[in-house]
């Protein structure tokens, strides 16, 4: 690995920016990370930008021995996650989505997330919780409990485009991705999900604002279309993600011990 690889630089900048403590990163440090991630290309992480329409577009898969598979069958591949680095403070990885695949609506509790589309096009739907919290029940026999959230994004993003940032309470902390084409997304999550620390991923189903009796009265300048009720659900049965092989430049960590440092 070249010592000055972009991924090594990203790792080192993340290490300076994020700590295991609850101290939030400064806006300047987030801007520096965004600026760096904006410059990262598929080639920097071992993916091929010019191979979106064939099985190589998933760059990380082993060669497909079933050459007679139809295009539809190829796109039926599950979402693949390429793990690059993880510690208590942050994780770096790539989500690779085949055409028409979906990462369901989910949250990032207490987390800051930076996402950069490396190639392809996807639809993004994102919400933030309404504060103070607004919770109601459906009134039906099932007594569905729903919580009010406000739209932050409902748009299509196509590479190249700026790195998006979400924060614990702003920027679209709850979001859903739908791949319009084969798409790869470089993600930095800080801190990572952790069952021990109580940062577990929750999935949601969204309902139009008018579906349930209203608890919150909208202001004069607000529209019902800007709000939805979200119900926490189990992970959808048809949501399948697998681990893939990251083929880009490896990240080398500096391990320090009393008296000396070494590279792992």
Q: CB under 8 Å to 241, separation ≥6 — which residues?
A: 78, 79, 80, 81
The Cα–Cα gap between 152 and 226 comes to 8
The pLDDT-based confidence of 48 (bands split at 50, 70, 90) is confident
Q: What is the pLDDT of residue 70?
A: 38
Higher pLDDT, residue 262 or 10: 10
Tell me: the pLDDT tens digits for 96-138?
999 999 999 999 999 999 999 999 999 999 999 999 888 887 6
Q: What is the pLDDT of residue 13?
A: 96
Domain with 129, as residue range(s), is 6-248
**Buried b or exposed e, range 196-205, using 16+ CB within 10 angstroms:** eeebeeebbe
pTM of the complete model? 0.83
The Cα–Cα gap between 174 and 221 comes to 24
Percent of the chain residues topping a pLDDT of 90: 63
- Has residue 83 got a pLDDT over 50? yes
Percent of the chain residues topping a pLDDT of 70: 79
Tell me: the pLDDT tens digits for 119-128?
999 999 999 9
Neighbouring-strand partners of residue 177: 103, 124
- Has residue 58 got a pLDDT over 50? no
The Cα–Cα gap between 2 and 9 comes to 11
Count of structural domains within the chain: 1
- Has residue 31 got a pLDDT over 50? yes
For the record, the structure tokens of 36 come out as: 């760096």
Tokens 């990572």, located at residue: 192
Check which CATH number belongs to the domain holding 57 and give it: 2.60.120.10
In a domain, 150, yes or no: yes
Q: What is the pLDDT of residue 238?
A: 85
Q: Work out whether strand 241-244 and strand 79-86 pair parallel, antiparallel, or are unpaired.
A: parallel
In a domain, 210, yes or no: yes
In a domain, 103, yes or no: yes
Note whether 45 and 37 are within 8 A (CB): no
In a domain, 207, yes or no: yes
Tell me: the pLDDT tens digits for 179-220?
999 999 999 999 999 988 888 999 999 999 988 866 677 776
Neighbouring-strand partners of residue 153: 126
In a domain, 184, yes or no: yes
The Cα–Cα gap between 225 and 91 comes to 35
In a domain, 177, yes or no: yes
In a domain, 232, yes or no: yes
In a domain, 51, yes or no: yes
Tell me: the pLDDT tens digits for 139-188?
665 678 899 999 999 999 999 999 999 999 999 999 999 999 999 999 99
Q: Which of 90-94, 143-147, 236-240 has the highest mean pLDDT?
A: 90-94
The pLDDT-based confidence of 231 (bands split at 50, 70, 90) is very high
First CA to last CA across the chain, in angstroms? 13
Tokens 């979906």, located at residue: 102
């Amino acid at each position: 690995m070249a010592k000055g690889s972009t991924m090594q630089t990203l790792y080192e900048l993340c290490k300076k920016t994020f700590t295991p403590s609850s101290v939030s990163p400064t806006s300047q440090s987030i801007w520096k990370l965004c600026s760096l991630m904006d410059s990262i290309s598929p080639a920097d992480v071992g993916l091929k930008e010019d191979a979106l329409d064939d099985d190589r577009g998933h760059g990380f898969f082993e060669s497909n021995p079933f050459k007679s598979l139809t295009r539809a069958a190829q796109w039926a591949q599950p979402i693949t996650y390429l793990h690059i680095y993880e510690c208590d403070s942050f994780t770096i990885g790539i989500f690779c989505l085949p055409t028409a695949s979906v990462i369901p609506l989910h949250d990032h509790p207490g987390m800051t997330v930076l996402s950069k589309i490396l190639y392809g096009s996807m639809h993004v739907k994102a919400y933030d919780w309404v504060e103070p919290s607004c919770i109601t029940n459906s009134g039906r026999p099932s007594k569905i409990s729903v919580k009010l959230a406000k739209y932050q994004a409902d748009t299509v993003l196509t590479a190249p485009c700026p790195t998006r940032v979400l924060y614990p309470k702003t920027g679209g902390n709850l979001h859903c991705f739908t791949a319009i084409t084969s798409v790869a997304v470089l993600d930095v999550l800080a801190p990572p999900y952790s069952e021990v620390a109580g940062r577990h991923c929750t999935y949601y189903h969204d309902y139009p604002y008018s579906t349930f009796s209203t608890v919150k009265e909208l202001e004069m300048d607000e529209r019902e279309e800007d709000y939805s009720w979200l119900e926490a659900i189990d992970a959808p049965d048809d949501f399948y993600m697998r681990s893939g092989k990251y083929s880009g430049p490896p990240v080398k960590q500096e391990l320090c011990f009393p008296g000396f440092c070494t590279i792992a």
